[in-house]
Structure 1
Amino acid sequence: MAIKLENVGIAVRDLEAAIAFFTDLGLTVVGRDTVSGEWTDTAVGLDGNHARIAMLQTPDGHGHLELFEYLHPEAIETEPTAPNEIGMHRVAFSVDDIDEALAIAATHGCHPLRGVATYQDVYKLTYLRGPSGILVMLAQELDRA
């Protein structure tokens, strides 16, 4: 059986703010829609499912995020996921300039949880809280000369 990761879906409280954050980091919107009806009720398992969605793609064309903002049923606010909690954890991106990526994130009020770390002289990386409390990891591969 062949298997391929299609996308990571993330529910957000403000679709436009989330799109602005991820497009400023370099992703592009490849589709938008408003979905509802029996097929979405069946697929998602919620009666009266109605959401605005946007599909975003990384510049290499391989990574996709599906962002969705629920119109019905009402979205349920939860505490943001902590780095050590079981379950969906974070979305991670490789960037060529972590300082530039952090400057862009800062324009959206998003800052590292603690700081930027270096992993075995291979990566500089950090976790930050993106829109709707999403954990985002940014990593820059270091030159190995």
Structure 2
Amino acid sequence: MGIRFENVGIAVRDLDEAISFFTDLGLTVVGRDTVSGDWADTAVGLDGNHARIAMLQTPEGDGRLELFEYLHPDAIETEPTLPHETGMHRVAFSVDDIDEALAIAATHGCHPLRGVATYEDVYKLTYLRGPSGILVMLAQALKND
């Protein structure tokens, strides 16, 4: 049996805001749609499932993020995930310039949870809260010359 990673799906409170955040960081929207109907109810396990969706892709095309905003049933607000909680944790991106990425995130009101750390002279990295409280990790590889 073959298997291939497809995407990570994240429910957001405002699809356009989330798209703006992730496209400013460098992802590209590869499709948008509104989904509903029996097939969507069956696949997702929700009666009356109706959502606006967008598929975004990283520049190299290997990573995809599916964002969805529920129109029905009403989205349920939850407390933002904490870094040590079990379950869906965070979405992570490698960036060429973490300072530039953080400046872009700041234009969306998103800032590091604590600061930028250096891991064994290999990465500079940080966690921040993106749109709808999504935990986002940004990491810049440090080049050893």
TM-score w.r.t. the length of structure 2 is: 1.00
- 1:101-128 per-residue CA deviation (whole Å, 9 max, x = no partner) reads 0000000000000000000000000000
1:53 aligns with 53
1:90 aligns with 90
Matched pairs, number = 145
Question: Alpha carbon RMSD of aligned pairs, Å?
Answer: 0.2
Q: Provide the secondary structure at the position in 1 that maps to 2:4.
A: coil
The unaligned stretches of length 5 or more in structure 1 are none
Q: CA deviation at 1:15?
A: 0.1
Q: CA deviation at 1:49?
A: 0.1
TM-score w.r.t. the length of structure 1 is: 1.00
Q: Percent sequence identity over matched residues?
A: 86
- 1:69-89 per-residue CA deviation (whole Å, 9 max, x = no partner) reads 000000000000000000000
> What is the alpha-carbon distance in structure 2 between the residues aligned to residue 92 and residue 112 of structure 1?
13
1:62 aligns with 62
The unaligned stretches of length 5 or more in structure 2 are none
Q: CA deviation at 1:11?
A: 0.1
Which amino acid in the other structure matches residue 124 of structure 1?
K
2:79 aligns with 79
* 1:111 and 2:117 are equivalent in the alignment: no
